[in-house]
Amino acid sequence: MQIIYLDNAATTIPDSKATEQAMEFIQDKFYNPSAIYRQGIFVHTALDNAREGMLQFLDANRTHNFIFTSCGTESNNQVFQFAVKSNKNIVVNLGEHPSVYNIAKHLEQKGYEVRYAKLARSGAVDLEHLLSLVDDKTTLVSVMHINNETGAINNIDRIAHLVRDKTKNHRCYVHVDGVQAFAKITYNLSENIDFYTVSAHKIGGLKGVGGTYYKKNIPFTPFIYGGGQEMGLRSGTENVFGNMQFFYATSNRMANLKQCWQNVVDCKSYIQEYLEKELFKILYVQNNSPYILTISAVGLRGEVLLHMLEEEGVLCSTGSACSSNAKYKYSRIIQATSLKNPEIEGVLRLSFGYKTTLAECKQATEKLNSCAKKLKAKLL
Ligand code: PLP
């Protein structure tokens, strides 16, 4: 059976060209980058060049540095562990991915003050509420670039600017979880953003590879101590193949960013237009990423529909895959957007990637309509 993969916000198929490009680092160039003979130096230099490339992709003004990490989750955790301070507060929001939300909760349990900004119905951060929480004791504000469940795009540059303005008399760090935006939308890092965290497997890289952009003047500290790799900020012998493959995958995405954007715009628009209106409601339309389409099969159970679609070869999600084993009955994030029953029960997320085709989306639309119709008929 042909698989139509519409769960690219969970992960993407690895970019085979990038994998091939990086292959030499698994076999011929397997040397330890810390070794001081020339084979080791060659690998070290390749990683340095890849780091330089990662900076060129996002940081035209050269205000930041970049380290490779083991995933977006590690990157987010490192930022929080660094920025948190006793007798100060940090401001996050209810829409954050568990890799931000749960480290904030953990720090709160350890006695630090954490303030939670609300989400608007659009799925974006409620900016007014967020700013009202920021004061002269705030040491970190964290806002994701694109929400992985609602697809809402936060205007991070504006938010960072306003936070900066409100905290100009003390040092407050601004962190952006860029995992769902990086190498998908045109963006260049602004000076007001101190940390921007990314993950490889959302863009054709491998699972277990991530990275952190951090402002040059920040006295950033390690989370993992050891041999001092990654400029002393992330010890552990480098995942040379994974990091190189991430660099090549990013490079391939960046070379086709506009075409890919247009393709997913077309895919999303087609599905939005041809899903039957009496079966599905489109959620979160305002200022939303074309890579994510969140819908509700109103009155039906999203999970049942998901499995019917799976039988037809269409793979999608009911929410965030990372929290599928969590304790919430409904997605914590979708609930934070004030969505209630019957809509919330029927939520499905379709997400597109660099490999998605319009032809697949046309077939998926037919299957979505027919499965929902069948399920509805069963319930009558
Ligand atoms: N942040 C967001 C917005 C995500 O969607 C994800 C993964 O789903 C992560 C962070 C975590 O990234 P990783 O899987 O590399 O740990």
Per residue in 314-325, pLDDT tens? 999 996 555 555
Q: Measured from the CB, is residue 71 less than 6 Å from ligand 1?
A: yes
Q: Measured from the CB, is residue 73 less than 6 Å from ligand 1?
A: yes
Q: Measured from the CB, is residue 322 less than 6 Å from ligand 1?
A: yes
Q: Which two tokens stand for residue 347?
A: 């939520």
Q: Separation of 157 CA from ligand 1 center, angstroms?
A: 21
Question: What is the spatial distance between Cα 306 and Cα 315, in angstroms, rounded to a whole number?
Answer: 7
Q: Write down the pLDDT at residue 324.
A: 55
Q: Write down the pLDDT at residue 323.
A: 53
In percent, the amount of the chain with pLDDT more than 90 equals 96
Question: What's the average model confidence in pLDDT over 69-79?
Answer: 98
Q: Separation of 115 CA from ligand 1 center, angstroms?
A: 22
Q: Measured from the CB, is residue 300 less than 6 Å from ligand 1?
A: no
Is residue 53 predicted with pLDDT exceeding 70? yes
The closest alpha carbon to 289, from 196, 352, 336, belongs to 352
Q: What are phi and psi of 251, to 5 degrees?
A: -60, -40
Q: How far is CA 307 from CA 304, 310, 316, 379, in A?
A: 5, 5, 9, 16
Q: Separation of 181 CA from ligand 1 center, angstroms?
A: 11
pLDDT band (50, 70, 90) for residue 268: very high
Whose tokens are 């020339």? That residue is: 38
3-state secondary structure (DSSP) of residue 120: coil
Q: Measured from the CB, is residue 93 less than 6 Å from ligand 1?
A: no
pLDDT in tens, 194-204: 999 999 999 99
Q: Write down the pLDDT at residue 45.
A: 98
Q: Separation of 42 CA from ligand 1 center, angstroms?
A: 31
pLDDT band (50, 70, 90) for residue 380: confident
Question: Would you give the distance in Å from CA 311 to the centre of its chain?
Answer: 28
Is residue 329 predicted with pLDDT exceeding 90? no
pTM: 0.97
Pairing of strands 173-177, 195-199: parallel
